[in-house]
Amino acid sequence: MNQIELLAPAGDLTRLKTAVRYGADAVYIGGKQFSLRSRASNFSLADIKEGAAFAKQYGAKVHVTVNMLPHEEDLSGLSDYLTALQECGVHAIICASPAIMMCAKQVAPKLEVHVSTQHSLTNSAAANYWKSKGADRVVLARELTLSQLKEVKEHSELPLEVFIHGGMCISYSGRCMLSNHMTLRDANRGGCAQSCRWKYRLYDNGKPIHDEATLFSMSSKDLMGARFLPELMQMGIASVKIEGRMKSTYYIATLVHTYRMLIDELLENGSVSDEKMDWYCAQLAKAENRPFATGFFQGVPKAQDHLYGINGAGISGEYIADVIDYDSEQKMAVLKVRNKFDPGIKAEVFAPHEPPRQFVISQIYDEEDMRLETANQPMRIVKIPSEFPMSKHAMIRKVIDKKRQIE
């Protein structure tokens, strides 16, 4: 097995630190300028500097999306911004515009230039073209099967980055005008309104063809590529990327924690059993995903890989608390409540680089050691007995017995 980078998203500093603590090799973020997903771009230059310094302590890297397709008037301030990113300790920029790539090479040569998936890169000739223009890596289009990926890898002279998990565009990635058409918000300049996921009424010759309860939407199921990770590592893909800069801290922790364990097991043993792979997929399904499909890894998605009529994403309420301390004398864990929970429930704690561990929450106490019948105030500090130590930065979720769609 070859080493592979685990690349996680982060929408703010808290999520960046969570991704790094839980084992991401690199984190991609958006600054406030020149980034495609403007709503997910919360990083000031000061935040970027702090994030890059934090990541460095863990041997991790920070990539910054500078991936808008700028119009002439958008270019002002670009060279100052790229210079500042380099000074902040950023490792790479992800960009789609040759104007931004060229400028980076001139004014900030220490920054690696990664060509964004917005280029819909589907062949090695295109990858090698970007190498000739000075690019250091390409992010491949999601619309490639495993065998196509293998062929691209065999003939490509650049390291390749591949999406492994998260939301899929219903449109051919990066070639969508829906948002522009419906809202005048330019998806290629940071404004995608996710119009594909809206509810639509369909008419045939003026007659509605469904009732109000089954409005139509074009949402796709989420990608889960864990089962293909062994092949991706064998073929020498440089980096696997989790989608979702808008996603929660819990989502990022759950996914990074699980993919980290899976990659480490593959590096150590060369393979995982089918049973263990099922376990990894069940762990991944504990984050707030939509139902899963396998994207394009096994071929063009079919009707069952879409969510016609439902959005499917939801807050599960499984994530109930953060561990902020552990008193080893009193054997009490100090928690910050995130979602309501009661005494008597079965829970699971997971911490960076530690496997999840199940236990029963026998009692809940407030900070003055008064017993509580429930923990129902988000952000309240409570204590629970625990015979085993819990690490700071661990998270606790309810154990819910339910079947999810894991393909």
Q: Site residues (CB under 6 A) for ligand SF4?
A: 169-171, 176, 178-179, 187, 192, 194-196
Beta bridge pairs of residue 166: 223
Query: Looking at beta carbons only, is 179 or 249 nearer to ligand SF4?
Result: 179
Report, in Å, the least distance between residue 195 CB and ligand SF4: 4
Report, in Å, the least distance between residue 251 CB and ligand SF4: 17
| H-helix or E-strand spanning residue 100 | helix 98-107
Query: Looking at beta carbons only, is 187 or 390 nearer to ligand SF4?
Result: 187
As a whole number of angstroms, the distance between CA 132 and CA 238 comes to: 19
Residue with tokens 């496997």: 355
| H-helix or E-strand spanning residue 239 | strand 239-242
Let me know: does 310 contact 219? Beta carbons within 8 Å.
yes
Report, in Å, the least distance between residue 406 CB and ligand SF4: 23
As a whole number of angstroms, the distance between CA 322 and CA 335 comes to: 5
| H-helix or E-strand spanning residue 203 | strand 203-204
Nearest to 65 by CA among 246, 210, 221, 237: 246
Query: Looking at beta carbons only, is 33 or 217 nearer to ligand SF4?
Result: 217
Report, in Å, the least distance between residue 378 CB and ligand SF4: 29
| Alpha-carbon torsion (103, 106, 109, 113), positive or negative | positive
Query: Looking at beta carbons only, is 66 or 192 nearer to ligand SF4?
Result: 192
The conformation of residue 291, written as its DSSP 8-state character, comes to: P
Report, in Å, the least distance between residue 232 CB and ligand SF4: 24
Helices and strands (H and E) in the chain: how many:
10, 20
Query: Looking at beta carbons only, is 95 or 266 nearer to ligand SF4?
Result: 95
Query: Looking at beta carbons only, is 31 or 174 nearer to ligand SF4?
Result: 174
Long-range CB contacts (< 8 A, 24+ apart) of 38-47?
Answer: 38/190, 38/191, 39/190, 39/246, 40/11, 40/245, 40/246, 41/11, 41/65, 41/190, 41/245, 42/11, 42/12, 43/12, 43/13, 45/84, 45/85, 45/88, 47/12, 47/13
Cα separations in angstroms, 401 against 286, 337, 345, 362, 374: 11, 22, 12, 19, 21
Query: Looking at beta carbons only, is 221 or 383 nearer to ligand SF4?
Result: 221
Report, in Å, the least distance between residue 291 CB and ligand SF4: 17
Residue with tokens 């063809």: 209
Report, in Å, the least distance between residue 149 CB and ligand SF4: 21
As a whole number of angstroms, the distance between CA 28 and CA 42 comes to: 12
Report, in Å, the least distance between residue 183 CB and ligand SF4: 9
Report, in Å, the least distance between residue 404 CB and ligand SF4: 23
Query: Looking at beta carbons only, is 176 or 406 nearer to ligand SF4?
Result: 176
Residues in the chain, overall count: 407
Query: Looking at beta carbons only, is 183 or 339 nearer to ligand SF4?
Result: 183
SS3 state of residue 88: coil
Report, in Å, the least distance between residue 271 CB and ligand SF4: 35
Query: Looking at beta carbons only, is 103 or 170 nearer to ligand SF4?
Result: 170
